[in-house]
A = this chain, B = another copy of it.
Amino acid sequence: MKEIPAPSKKRLVLLAQILSQRTKEKITSVEIQRLAGWSEATVRRDISLLELHNGVSNGYDVKVLRDAILARFNMEENVQNEHRCCIVGLGKLGEALLESSFFEKSNFKIVAGFDSSQNRIELLRSRIPLHSTNNLESFVRMENIEYAVLSVDDAKAQLMADKLVAAGIKGIVNYTNTVLSVPDSVKIENVNPVLVMRTFLA
């Protein structure tokens, strides 16, 4: 199976989302261009990487295309594709993410939350098991957690990232202001709103 370049991967993931929201049976590269803002040539190239040969001359079948993307990235919602995740740092933001419905309709499941404050843990009383960050490394390892959301104070961000890395984490969605140092094998995406907005500037 051909390796798909990172930019194409990002677009295909978003394309799957677009297709999920569609009612019509067919879609063309020009329609996708209008919906997503990518050029029609890029859209066709991205889709061709899936080696589907499904769209010939008539546009793409929405369901077939969507299923192909889900399959290619193991995004189908079934047990063997389930990816176990945790949230580290249960301040207002961590709590909001913990209780959000974001993960519900996906194959990513939040299986634990961590905070350094025992008070906070007892106060929250979530359906999801909450633990002290003291036990972070052993829990992440034991629970086979693959991905983490990091929403701790900046001062603790690198320390917690180190623990996650030591526990074998595969990727971190970083809501903190801190730029994390991790091995190349660990994926990081910085989603702090201020850092993101700065990239909007001239």
Contact = CB atoms under 8 A, between A and B. Distances in A.
Interface of A: 6, 9-10, 13-15, 17-18, 21, 34-37, 73-75, 83, 85, 91-93, 95-97, 99-100, 102-103, 106, 108, 147, 149, 170-171, 173, 177-179, 181-182, 184, 187-202
Contact of A191 (B91, B188, B196): B196
A57 B110 CA distance: 49
Contacts of A188: 37
A88 to B, nearest CB: 12
Instruction: Name, among A85, A97, A102, the residue most crowded by chain B CB atoms within 10 Å (CB to CB).
Output: A102
Copies in the complex: 2
Contacts of A83: 197, 201
Contacts of A92: 95-96, 99-100
A37 B181 contact: yes
